[in-house]
Structure 1
């Protein structure tokens, strides 16, 4: 397998803010941890990857692009330590800083945004804002540096094994059997898909699916209402910069995990990207388990979140590639179908990798699927003059 180099570096800017969203920030500096993965070829094109949380430099798709000769910048947001207080509006600013640094300091002329999983909505949202700005304040309605920020447009956008947004994904995951956030152990047995006594069994009929999805949306709204009320109360008390932190229980109860006929693909029944969904539903690793009022409104609230790939697609006019893994055990297939159909660009390509799971995990054939993902991206980019060495 060809080799590549990995160079860590920081993207640092300054933002004046009274409140710190993350632990360890120094003064008004905002620090993003980035890595430049350089393939063997010279290139004036760089593939920029970012995920709302974590270290994308070690995700398999991005390393594989570098092994196949590409130059890749895998940059974290300011929220690498966790997403409890994450505001997607700030993540957009982080991506803007990374893209500008790639062009102005590192000297790349062309940029291809590559969004994998949760990075898909972030990168699509960024490109849409670069082409036509619509977001100027945070989801909580507070002032944001976005109002004056300039986003440099990318030359193309690639979404791989992605979902449309954090708030849409979570709502499909929420356990609607929890009717009171303060008493999460008291559950409606007819809405608890993990209760052996539930008379509703898979495959579920359409009436139950509608009832379940409506109850999930209603729970999302109840949590949103509490967050809005808390913020309003703190502001009324003269504590506008305070935060309220809370726990959301039951966030891994998508009907898709137990009924493979819902939004079907080749995923393994009774399983998810976090393992057994019955365990993940209440584990500390679940989506949105730990939240703040502002973080909830920006990431998870159906009514207030502003970053969504399908909504962004109508403003994206640069070439776009969508790669779907047919055995994805995290992202619903419908999300990327809706995004693809909504794209404004006439230069759009859809590619399915048959048998690939979300993380390309498990060895064997998954390694070949990962190779297919990398060669598909680079072949597509080369056709548009956006490949290493072009």
Structure 2
């Protein structure tokens, strides 16, 4: 394995007409994407692995650099919403990924593109490939025009799902605190569902009946928020305010029976933790999923019923080969996520690999990281994507 690679910055720009601005500053109709191109010292080769996460920030993830050290060309491209997802629209992030794929092929000269769907980039990559192979989207879930069909997205040649979850909407719903009864007063909670309260009558290990009630209550809360969002948008439009937006906070969004009961979706994760630390602290903290929102952003990213970035549903629409890697000590994307993604592909289309004992980021686990990289290299070779 080579230890050297070159990292060069690229700025990918394209024009896009919009009736309102949902990213900070910059020209009204210009989208600018910051990208890192990592090329092995021996040369770029003909294939590039492209990573994008909806909210970005992964250019220095262990996996990204390790693939380059292993002799692969890699692009990590930030979406237009780098670091701020309150107004993020998944449809626009798909367009951003499309601009990067086009840049890689038409400007940088790569012949083949493989999508690297890391964590939250997994469902994004699947949504992109589904729209590239089977274009359908001409508007956002809020009903605003946004035509991905006319963009003629370039299909990738393969997709690697690495420690990926099934979707932002489903994942957040599975982490949504179902005890909250009043969105305007999150301290008004159902004590029977408040699993972080020491006096909660339901304690781990949780019964199947309680888990079923808990999961349904999470979906019900998501749907209540969605109904309020749609009513708010509808009221604006009835008043002739077609482009009006509204910011809001969703409290308590890191509450999952898996964090307190290691028998739920069991793997080797440390009990009582999540990938952001103490889940009870994260539940109220500023970094949990979907804490700060806009109406349109909620419908596109977080609505259980409306978001199009549903990984398994999108996987069923694509035809390219896939690699699905799960980490067996992951405290973010637990085994059911890996299995749901794998099972969504047609028989024989995907290869499933589990990296024993690996955490979500491979932090402090260079041996586990090396195993994952070798599986990626071997799969690419087997698919004829390294020739």
Choose the corresponding residue for 1:135, options 134, 137, 157: 137
Q: Determine helix, strand or coil for the equivalent of 1:11.
A: strand
Is structure 2 residue 372 aligned with structure 1 residue 373?
A: yes
Give the alignment's Cα RMSD to 1 decimal. Answer: 1.1
Match of 1:14 in 2: 15
CA contact (8 A) 1:316 1:345 kept: no
Alignment of structure 1 residues 330-345 onto 2, 5 Å = 330-344=332-346
Shift of 1:39: 1.2
Mapped partners of 2:28, 2:227: distance in 1? 33
Match of 1:285 in 2: 287
Gaps of 5+ in 2: none
Mapped partners of 1:104, 1:236: distance in 2? 45
Match of 2:105 in 1: 103
Mapped partners of 1:93, 1:126: distance in 2? 8
Mapped partners of 2:207, 2:57: distance in 1? 41
Mapped partners of 1:386, 1:41: distance in 2? 17
Choose the corresponding residue for 2:74, options 67, 72, 75: 72
The superposition leaves residues 135-191 of structure 1 with CA deviations (integer Å, 9 ceiling, x where unpaired) of 221111211031411111111100000001000000000001111100111211111
After TM superposition, the score normalised by the length of structure 2 is: 0.98
Gaps of 5+ in 1: none
After TM superposition, the score normalised by the length of structure 1 is: 0.97
Match of 1:4 in 2: 5
Mapped partners of 2:18, 2:299: distance in 1? 19
CA contact (8 A) 1:77 1:95 kept: yes
Alignment of structure 1 residues 130-279 onto 2, 5 Å = 130-279=132-281
Aligned residues, how many?
385
Mapped partners of 1:162, 1:191: distance in 2? 28
Q: Determine helix, strand or coil for the equivalent of 2:76.
A: strand
Shift of 1:345: 6.4
Mapped partners of 2:366, 2:310: distance in 1? 30
Match of 2:122 in 1: 120
Mapped partners of 1:56, 1:130: distance in 2? 24
CA contact (8 A) 2:21 2:28 kept: no
Comparing 331-340 and 233-242, the one that deviates more:
331-340
Q: Determine helix, strand or coil for the equivalent of 2:113.
A: strand
